[in-house]
């Protein structure tokens, strides 16, 4: 549990009222069951005569013998349970869990059972369940030492099953669905004042003034009642499914951003259970704490359970055996009474014969008097015979037969017969005797099976607590199946079986499995007995496996003797190839090596074929890779073309801009040219006219010159 939590007066009053209302309701609903269980327990203890009959016989000074045979029948069942103790094994149930951590958790479970003396708690609960129908044990947490901050888990016994109140609220066999529970205890007033000096000690009148009339919660001169009140509460939350497959509560991640790439795939509303614990008196809350698990840590063990017209009934071995035990007591008493009083039958004589000797005759049935005197005449003076006893033949044989029948009825109703109780019977072989004993065990095996179910729930409660209690880096002790101990570090990287691992109980989901059977030491004893039986029928076994036989024996020095015997056994029997001798042994070894060589050759051929196939596959993969390379090359060239295209487009765009700028300049020049053209046009016309005139004059001059030359040439001819 965590440290104490503060609580206000208003909340304290509310919790006390709620707890006492539950106590009253549970008491009323369980009253019939508790009455029957208490009567069974008192009957088993030896209070077996009805009160009115016992009172009458005591007044009449008649015996009331109790020959209590029930304890042997109860012990037959409870001792069978001690011989075959259920064992808790942890197993992983999801991908986040692993087998190595499950083995560590199993060893930690054994450690918790060892330090808690859990066998005492389990045996006490099972005794109550088997005898009267219901028993309890509980799980607590406490610091491992007065000078340590580390906590451990403990399994504690509940000696008085009547101190636990669950009511009829639960429908599960292990009460795992119960939402309330109370454990009450009456402690001395002086001890109460020492533990809680500031608490108020109230009387019955003061308690009644608060509206509660439960006098048993008030303080007396000797004691005061306190109660541990467990209450299961629920808080609303949302279950988130992440893309990684992990499932987390929204309250756990709402303040933490999700890692990159992880998304929420789904969600649903849920209710998260948690347990509140209060220590109360009849008028105030002394302490308030929060239990770290989700289960109320009180584990019931049920004997036999019935539902009759909606009313729950519980019983154990004693309930059905009570009438047979009463008959046995009655017939044993009757037989004793008849035999003891037969020699003391009343004396019969005539009136007046005892006159003067009354005291002697009154003591005749109690004291061994040497003689008795009497008067030989009656009151009239007539002669009378001596007094005589009123002889009576008691039906001793019939009473003995009835007593034997009652004893048989006890065996019949319990299902435990003579062979299971160690009585001699007509069976002669060991198998027949074991078969008869097994019949008795199977008749009452449902008690052990119910205990296995309760221990499974016990394992679930502890498994739920481990991540909360062992939540920091620490080294813990684990216990193996054979009782050997080892130390393991939790919540930190550690070397385990040659590998670096981290054992974090909070990671992954685990479940518990319970198996009922002989303990490791019992199995070893049974193995030793079987080995000795085999050795008696086959003496050579001592030379072949003498070391193993001695190894399973429980006496000092067995291990050392086993090692010596092992060295004396021929090496070939031990499978030691390093120490061999003899030609035959060498020949066998050579033959074996030859066979192994042939197997290796065949294996080599197979490997070579596989290598060829793998080479073909590699070639095919190479071709595929070549194709991929070409594809990659083409892809690369395409990428280069795309890059060049992009660059070309960019240059073209730049050139288009230049061309546009050039067009603008050209247009500007054209415009300027047109202006200049307009300005020069008149001058150009004049120049053109002059040029045309000069041209014409030149043409005329040339024509005249040619004509003159022509005429001159003609005259010369």
pLDDT at 527: 66
CA distance 404 to 397: 11
Greater model confidence, 71 or 4: 71
Question: In the chain, count of helices (H) and strands (E)?
Answer: 19, 19
In sequence order, the β-bridge partners of residue 87 are 515
The answer to whether position 541 is within a domain reads: yes
Which conformational region is residue 491 in: left (phi greater than 0), alpha (psi within -120 to 50 degrees), or beta?
A: left
pLDDT at 510: 92
In this structure, of 154-158, 388-392, 400-404, 448-452, the range with the lowest mean pLDDT score is: 388-392
561 confidence band (pLDDT: 50, 70, 90): confident
The answer to whether position 123 is within a domain reads: no
619 confidence band (pLDDT: 50, 70, 90): confident
524 confidence band (pLDDT: 50, 70, 90): low
Q: Is 587 a residue whose pLDDT tops 90? A: no
138 confidence band (pLDDT: 50, 70, 90): very high
Greater model confidence, 496 or 156: 156
CA 50 to the chain's CA centroid: 45
Of the ranges 83-97, 364-378, 672-686, the best mean pLDDT one: 83-97
Q: Is 1 a residue whose pLDDT tops 60? A: no
pLDDT at 392: 61
**Burial of 20 per CB tally in 10 Å (0-12, 13-18, 19+):** buried
**Burial of 493 per CB tally in 10 Å (0-12, 13-18, 19+):** exposed
- b/e map 507-541, b = 16+ CB within 10 Å: eeebbbebeeeeeeeeebeeebeebeeebeeeeeb
CA distance 321 to 413: 6
78 confidence band (pLDDT: 50, 70, 90): very high
pLDDT at 385: 86
Greater model confidence, 386 or 527: 386
The answer to whether position 555 is within a domain reads: yes
Greater model confidence, 446 or 362: 446
Q: Is 212 a residue whose pLDDT tops 50? A: no
Strands 164-165 and 151-157, bridge-based pairing: unpaired
Which residues constitute the domain of residue 552?
520-569
pLDDT tens digits, 648-669: 777 777 777 767 666 666 666 6
The answer to whether position 529 is within a domain reads: yes
Cα dihedral 527, 530, 536, 540, rounded to 10, equals -60
Q: Which residues contact 260 (CB under 8 A, 6 or more apart)?
A: none
Task: State mean pLDDT over 619-623.
Answer: 72
The answer to whether position 637 is within a domain reads: no
In this structure, of 148-157, 517-526, 663-672, 703-712, the range with the lowest mean pLDDT score is: 517-526
Task: State mean pLDDT over 535-541.
Answer: 70
pLDDT tens digits, 353-411: 888 888 888 777 767 778 788 888 878 878 888 888 776 666 778 888 988 898 888 88
pLDDT at 208: 46
pLDDT at 455: 95
- b/e map 626-658, b = 16+ CB within 10 Å: eeeeeeeeeeeeeeeeeeeeeeeeeeeeeeeee
The answer to whether position 554 is within a domain reads: yes
The answer to whether position 248 is within a domain reads: no
Q: Phi and psi (nearest 5°) for 712? A: -65, -40
Q: Tell which residue, 461, 485, 496, has the closest CA to residue 101.
A: 496
pLDDT tens digits, 15-41: 999 999 999 999 999 999 999 999 999
pLDDT at 389: 75
Residue 303 CB coordination number (10 Å): 27
CA distance 384 to 391: 19
Cβ(302)–Cβ(446) below 8 Å: no
Cα dihedral 98, 101, 106, 109, rounded to 10, equals -130
Cβ(542)–Cβ(535) below 8 Å: yes
Mean pLDDT of the chain: 80
Q: Which residues contact 23 (CB under 8 A, 6 or more apart)?
A: 165, 182, 184, 214, 227
155 confidence band (pLDDT: 50, 70, 90): very high
pLDDT at 579: 44
pLDDT at 7: 85
Greater model confidence, 327 or 252: 327
Q: Is 207 a residue whose pLDDT tops 60? A: no
Greater model confidence, 711 or 162: 162
Of the ranges 253-257, 434-438, 504-508, the best mean pLDDT one: 504-508
pLDDT at 578: 38
Task: State mean pLDDT over 476-491.
Answer: 84
209 confidence band (pLDDT: 50, 70, 90): very low
Total residues found in the chain within this entry: 717
CA distance 282 to 16: 7
Cβ(303)–Cβ(134) below 8 Å: yes
294 confidence band (pLDDT: 50, 70, 90): very high
608 confidence band (pLDDT: 50, 70, 90): confident
In this structure, of 185-194, 352-361, 670-679, 696-705, the range with the lowest mean pLDDT score is: 670-679
The answer to whether position 273 is within a domain reads: no
pLDDT at 110: 93
In this structure, of 243-247, 345-349, 648-652, 687-691, the range with the lowest mean pLDDT score is: 687-691
CA 262 to the chain's CA centroid: 33
pLDDT at 376: 85
Q: Look at the chain and report how many structural domains it folds into.
A: 1
Residue 283 CB coordination number (10 Å): 21
């Amino acid at each position: 549990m965590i440290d104490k939590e503060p609580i206000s007066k208003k909340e304290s009053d509310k919790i006390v009222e709620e707890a006492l209302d539950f106590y009253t309701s549970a008491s009323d609903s369980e009253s019939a069951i508790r009455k029957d269980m208490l009567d069974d327990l008192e009957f088993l203890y030896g209070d077996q005569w009805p009160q009115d009959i016992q009172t009458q016989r005591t007044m009449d000074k008649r015996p009331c013998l109790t020959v209590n045979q029930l304890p042997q029948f109860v012990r037959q069942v409870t001792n069978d349970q001690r011989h075959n103790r259920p064992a808790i094994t942890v197993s992983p149930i999801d991908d986040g869990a692993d087998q190595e951590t499950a083995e560590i958790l199993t060893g930690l479970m054994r450690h918790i059972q060892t330090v808690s003396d859990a066998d005492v708690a389990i045996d006490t609960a099972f005794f109550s369940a088997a005898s009267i129908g219901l028993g309890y044990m509980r799980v607590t947490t406490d610091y491992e030492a007065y000078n340590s901050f580390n906590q451990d888990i403990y399994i504690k016994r509940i000696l008085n099953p009547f101190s636990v109140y669950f009511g009829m609220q639960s429908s599960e066999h292990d009460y795992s669905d119960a939402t309330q529970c109370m454990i009450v205890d009456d402690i001395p007033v002086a001890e109460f004042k020492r533990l809680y000096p500031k608490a108020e000690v109230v009387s019955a009148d003061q308690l009644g003034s608060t509206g509660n009339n439960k006098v048993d919660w008030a303080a007396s001169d000797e004691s005061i009642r306190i109660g541990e009140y467990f209450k299961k509460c629920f808080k609303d939350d949302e279950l988130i499914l992440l893309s990684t497959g992990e499932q987390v509560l929204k309250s756990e991640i709402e303040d933490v951003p999700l890692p990159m790439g992880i998304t929420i795939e789904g969600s649903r509303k849920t209710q998260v259970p948690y347990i509140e614990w209060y220590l109360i008196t009849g008028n105030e809350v002394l302490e308030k704490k929060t239990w770290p698990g989700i289960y109320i840590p009180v584990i019931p063990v049920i004997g036999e359970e019935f539902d009759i017209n909606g009313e729950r009934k519980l019983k154990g071995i004693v309930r059905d055996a009570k009438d047979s035990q009463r008959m046995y007591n009655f017939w044993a008493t009757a037989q004793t009474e008849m035999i003891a009083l037969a020699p003391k039958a009343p004396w019969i004589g005539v009136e007046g014969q005892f006159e003067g000797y009354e005291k002697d005759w009154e003591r005749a049935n109690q004291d061994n008097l040497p003689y008795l005197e009497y008067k030989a005449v009656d009151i009239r003076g007539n002669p009378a015979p001596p007094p005589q006893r009123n002889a009576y033949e008691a039906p001793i044989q019939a009473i003995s037969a009835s007593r034997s029948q009652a004893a048989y009825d006890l065996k019949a109703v319990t299902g435990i017969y003579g062979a299971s109780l160690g009585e001699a019977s007509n069976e002669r072989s060991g198998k027949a005797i074991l078969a008869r004993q097994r019949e008795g065990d199977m008749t009452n095996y449902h008690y052990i099976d119910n205990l296995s179910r309760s221990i499974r729930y016990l394992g679930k409660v502890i498994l739920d607590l481990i991540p909360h209690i062992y939540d920091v880096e620490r080294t813990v002790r684990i216990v193996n199946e054979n009782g050997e101990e080892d130390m393991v570090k939790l919540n930190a990287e550690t070397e385990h079986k040659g590998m670096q691992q981290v054992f974090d109980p909070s990671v992954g989901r685990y479940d518990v499995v319970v198996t009922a059977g002989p303990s490791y030491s019992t199995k070893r004893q049974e193995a030793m007995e079987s080995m000795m039986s085999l050795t008696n029928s086959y003496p050579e076994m001592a030379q072949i496996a003498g070391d193993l036989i001695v190894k399973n024996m429980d006496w000092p020095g067995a291990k050392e003797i086993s090692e010596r015997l092992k060295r004396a056994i021929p090496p070939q029997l031990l499978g030691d190839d390093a120490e061999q001798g003899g030609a035959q042994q060498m020949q066998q070894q050579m033959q074996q090596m030859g066979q192994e060589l042939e197997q290796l050759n065949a294996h080599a051929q197979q490997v070579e074929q596989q290598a060829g196939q793998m080479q073909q596959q590699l070639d095919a993969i190479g071709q595929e890779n070549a194709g991929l390379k070409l594809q990659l090359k083409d892809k690369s060239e395409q990428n280069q073309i795309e890059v060049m295209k992009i660059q070309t487009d960019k240059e073209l765009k730049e050139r288009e801009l230049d061309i546009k700028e050039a067009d603008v300049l050209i247009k500007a020049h054209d415009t300027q040219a047109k202006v200049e053209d307009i300005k020069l046009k008149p001058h150009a016309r004049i120049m053109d006219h002059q040029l045309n005139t000069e041209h014409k004059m030149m043409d005329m001059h040339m024509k005249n010159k040619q004509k003159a030359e022509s005429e001159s040439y003609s005259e010369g001819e």
